[in-house]
Amino acid sequence: MVQLHVKRGDESQFLFNTTVDVSIETLSREISAIYNGRLKVVRICSEIPELADHGISLPPNMQGLTDDQISELKLKDEWEDRCTPSGGAEFQKDELGCRNGHAPNGRMKDVLRKTMEEAKALISNKQVKANVCVTLDMVQEALDQMRGAVMIVYPMGLPPHDPIRMEFENQEDLTGRQASLQVIPEEEAQLWWASKELQRGKKLQDYVGKNEKTKIIVKIQKRGQGAPAREPLVGEEEQKQMMLHYYKRQEELKKLEEADDDTHLQSNYSDRQALKRQFQGLSNIKWGPR
């Protein structure tokens, strides 16, 4: 199997196993699906703590309004009574005014938070250092875990406008958000290796040869963004080892310089003529005026 270390810019994303016979079109589709799936998991994980702390999302026309404004406009959240957390709710006001404040109780909060951490760990880029390859099934498993946890806490489901439900149903609107710049649509995904774009219509073996026991760094890029920056000639870990080596070498040279100090040759005990002058009575003679 060929192992691809997928990066976006200088940041490691995940490891992916494939074969040299795979077409670049299929490879681009598979890698972009995992890349975008991981982003979805991260976005949901960023919303889970808000759900745990402040309950379901308010309708869009009520978000950001004060209690007085809601009362004055006679607005009502029709989903508040339908979407109550199992085990009862605790009121924790959302200062941002995005959620209704009826949070799940302590045990249900733990269910949401624990599942979120497990899902994040499953698709984390730390898997690269652990030499664990991420697959689309693992991404789906992370999504299913969080969907299951939300269903346990909210058996009646979340409102259709809640960002977590919208993510699960692939109805999320990322317009105007930083997250929209990170997503790479499948048809716009480009793969680069050794400053070369892997052209669709070719196979991976056209670039890396037929050796299946190959490991390369591939960068995913959005079409039109140009070639990504080249990988440094020396890796981060190798650079640390080199700096450590040079530091140790400098310290050794300093010690050698100190050991090479010859000022001791001016001392009386190193004077070869001292004994002769002592017998001649010349050891304490000083020249110059008194």
Q: What is the 3-state secondary structure (H, E, C) of 185-201?
A: CHHHEEEEECCEECCEC
Q: Residues 213, 263: one domain? A: no
Q: Residues 218, 243: one domain? A: no
Size of the chain, expressed as the number of residues it contains: 290
Residue 134 belongs to a domain: yes
Q: Residues 148, 15: one domain? A: yes
The answer to whether 19 and 83 have CB atoms below 8 angstroms apart is no
Q: Residues 84, 164: one domain? A: yes
Residue 145 belongs to a domain: yes
List, in sequence order, every residue forming a beta bridge with 7; answer none if it has no partner.
12, 219
Which residues neighbour 148 within 8 Å (Cβ) at sequence distance 6 or greater?
Answer: 115
Q: Residues 20, 57: one domain? A: yes
What is the per-residue burial (b if ≥16 Cβ within 10 Å, else e) of 61-86?
ebeeeeeeebeeeeeebebbeebbbb
Among 10, 37, 60, 21, smallest CA distance to 212 is for 21
pLDDT confidence of residue 112: 96
Q: Residues 247, 126: one domain? A: no
Residue 288 belongs to a domain: no
Q: Residues 123, 245: one domain? A: no
Residue 181 belongs to a domain: yes
Higher pLDDT, 202 or 282: 202
Q: Residues 77, 132: one domain? A: yes
Which residues neighbour 138 within 8 Å (Cβ) at sequence distance 6 or greater?
Answer: 122, 123
Average pLDDT (79-88) is 90
Q: Name the residue range of residue 268's domain.
A: 236-280
Q: Residues 54, 156: one domain? A: yes
pLDDT confidence of residue 227: 82
The total of structural domains in the chain comes to: 2
Average pLDDT (57-84) is 90
Residue 165, pLDDT above cutoff 80: yes
Residue 245 belongs to a domain: yes
What's the pLDDT tens digit per position in 108-155?
999 999 999 999 999 999 999 999 999 999 999 999 999 999 999 999
Residue 164 belongs to a domain: yes
